[in-house]
Amino acid sequence: MTYTLNEKRKPLAENPVLSEADRTELAVLLCLQELGCATAAELARAALCTESDAQAALQFWRGARMVRVMSEGESAPIPAAPESEGEAEKSEPRKIHAALRHEMKLAPMNSEYTASLIEEHRLSAFLDACQQTAGQIFSPHEIEITVGLHHQLGLSPEYILTLIAYCYGMEKRSMSYVEKVAFSFVVDRGIDTEEKLIAHIDALDRMHSAEGKLRALFGMGDRALTKREKDAFFKWLNDFSYGLDMIEAAYDKTVNNTGKASVAYADKILSHWHTSGCKTPADAEALDAREAAALPDKKKKAEKEAAEREREKNRSFNGSDIDDIFSRALARSYGKSEEKKKDGGSDA
């Protein structure tokens, strides 16, 4: 039995049954919309569920008049054209099914479905390369994760191989860890191509190699870095492309100005230098000299503006104004004194 969407269906946003649909029912409907028409078995494979669950979901949507059974001889509807590779590259970050994005975990896959994907997409050689890179034979669950990263997250084989090499190289020898890192990179950072991944790993390597020197410079010892400190170090080394010579110059200026080491204060200095186009300590020194030379002019300007405000204030209180105010104050005081005398006399 083949199913398709009901042409007379009510828009999903206006259908009250939407709030009653569970995750599997929504997944089946979305897959049917993409495929145009499909059997329950085909939808089960696409929605990563059992055939009985897909059948139950179809009955649910038939009851809501969203889905119908196709008649014999009826031509299949043309599904919406998928994104081309060029269009997909423009999406940032990669489009991921809402359920995967929310769970930050691959949907479960059984061995039968995984085997069908391996055969359909010819992934045997790719899986062999992954196991060689990891230096171990994968368990069935690890194979499911590897295939899921390719099928569900849409990551290229080259991306997955690079990520496995990176994680296993850090002695994180687990495909579950690779899965966690993949979601973090793709969902949180938009690192969804091999080129972006390689650039990010290079940045992390620079951070790792410089971290010990930065810790020693700022006197951090062995304590864990705060997120703000990690972000600052990463920004200096990668976004600004500054070496230790520039960071040491900012550290010296920080201690001279504040009397203590401060990552936050050094970050302000380095950010100012970067915005001003400084690339070397000599550039920064020249900038600081120019700004220091300009300080007297700024001070004179501030003093001039303060004097002008004071003159403006005094204009509103010139001599005649003060005499007038003084006269009115005396009149009010004299009047009150006279009233008190009158009141006192009547009491007597």
What is the pLDDT at residue 3? Answer: 83
What is the pLDDT at residue 197? Answer: 93
What is the pLDDT at residue 333? Answer: 65
3-state helix, strand, coil in the chain (%, to 5): 70, 5, 25
d(CA 247, CA 237): 9
At 321, phi and psi to the nearest 5? -65, -40
d(CA 133, CA 164): 7
Contact 91, 190 (CB under 8 A): no
What is the pLDDT at residue 338? Answer: 59
What is the pLDDT at residue 79? Answer: 45
**Residues of the chain where predicted confidence (pLDDT) is lower than 70:** 12-15, 72-99, 101-103, 298, 300, 303, 313-348
Contact 9, 66 (CB under 8 A): yes
What is the pLDDT at residue 88? Answer: 43
Contact 169, 140 (CB under 8 A): no
What is the pLDDT at residue 334? Answer: 63
- Give the side-chain half-sphere CA count within 13 A for 24: 18
d(CA 101, CA 186): 10
What is the pLDDT at residue 138? Answer: 95
What is the pLDDT at residue 133? Answer: 93
- Give the side-chain half-sphere CA count within 13 A for 284: 21
d(CA 142, CA 120): 19
What is the pLDDT at residue 87? Answer: 44
